Amino acid sequence: ILNVEQSPQSLHVQEGDSTNFTCSFPSSNFYALHWYRWETAKSPEALFVMTLNGDEKKKGRISATLNTKEGYSYLYIKGSQPEDSATYLCASDEFISNFGNEKLTFGTGTRLTIIP
Amino acid sequence: ETGVTQTPRHLVMGMTNKKSLKCEQHLGHNAMYWYKQSAKKPLELMFVYNFKEQTENNSVPSRFSPECPNSSHLFLHLHTLQPEDSALYLCASSQATGRDEQYFGPGTRLTVT
């Protein structure tokens, strides 16, 4: 995987249902994996930053897991509510040793719409 | 003011104009970023400043010129832009680069005519 890929691109979920989506990223030179929520007409808001293989983080009804060996992360939303409607972005932070810094690459996002 | 602020929120400029975007963070962070969001494309990192020093420039054309006079302020100077530079420009800050969550400003919607 050369780029950060998110699937699906868009998703419609009935209110109250649970859902999940995927972020795939290059597993080599892995440094960190970020998840952001971006609501229409607002700024992207950080959800999680994950660094360790097997990491699992939770914030309210939203949780995320990380597999750095195979290069994927899942975001789960339990009991979807209308306020969960947003675009969910993941970003992979790779350590670029040649330059001693990092490279942050975003996916195109999963656009989630909750149907009341 | 709290968080990350950006001015102006909207900007229309001709290809021969020179303008600047301003970003200010009130969070005491040490790293600041410029991003470009074009339609149907991923958020694209343009520049990174860490402790006022530029640490990354993702092959951005020289018509975009960043300036970071201190850890709280970041500018993006624009000159002789092209219509394809029309996009949403977002500023963000974090405590440090890499493993810290970023806090984003509201963005500047730029239209180049």
Contact B48 A51 (CB under 8 A): no
What's the gap in Å between the CA of B82 and the closest CA on chain A? 23
Banded pLDDT at B103 (limits 50, 70, 90): very high
Which is nearest to A13 in space by CA: A100, A82, A89? A82
Contact B48 A105 (CB under 8 A): no
pLDDT at residue B55 tops 70: yes
Do B77 and A29 meet the contact criterion of CB atoms below 8 Å apart? no
pLDDT of the residue at A3: 87
pLDDT at residue A109 tops 80: yes
pLDDT of the residue at B36: 96
d(CA A19, CA A78): 7
pLDDT of the residue at A97: 60
Banded pLDDT at A35 (limits 50, 70, 90): very high
Please state the rounded mean pLDDT for residues B21-36.
95
pLDDT of the residue at A28: 84
pLDDT greater at residue A86 or residue B97: A86
Antiparallel, parallel or unpaired: β B10-13 and B108-112: parallel
Give Cα separations from A111 to A3, A39, A46, B21 (angstroms): 19, 10, 16, 28
Chain A partners within 8 Å of B42 (Cβ): 4, 105-109
Chain B partners within 8 Å of A107 (Cβ): 42
CB atoms within 10 A of CB A93: 21
Chain B partners within 8 Å of A36 (Cβ): 102, 104
* Chain mean pLDDT for chain B: 92
Which is nearest to B67 in space by CA: B87, B88, B91, B83? B91
pLDDT at residue A22 tops 60: yes
A52-96: per-residue pLDDT in tens? 999 999 999 999 999 999 999 999 999 999 999 999 999 999 877
Minimum CA–CA partner of A34 in chain B? B101
Minimum CA–CA partner of A108 in chain B? B42
Banded pLDDT at A2 (limits 50, 70, 90): low
Owner of token pair 């930053």: A49
B60-94: per-residue pLDDT in tens? 999 999 999 999 999 999 999 999 999 999 999 99
d(CA B46, CA A96): 16
Q: Among partner residues A4, A102, A106, which is closest to B98 by beta-carbon distance?
A: A102
pLDDT at residue A100 tops 60: no
pLDDT of the residue at A27: 86
Contact B98 A32 (CB under 8 A): yes
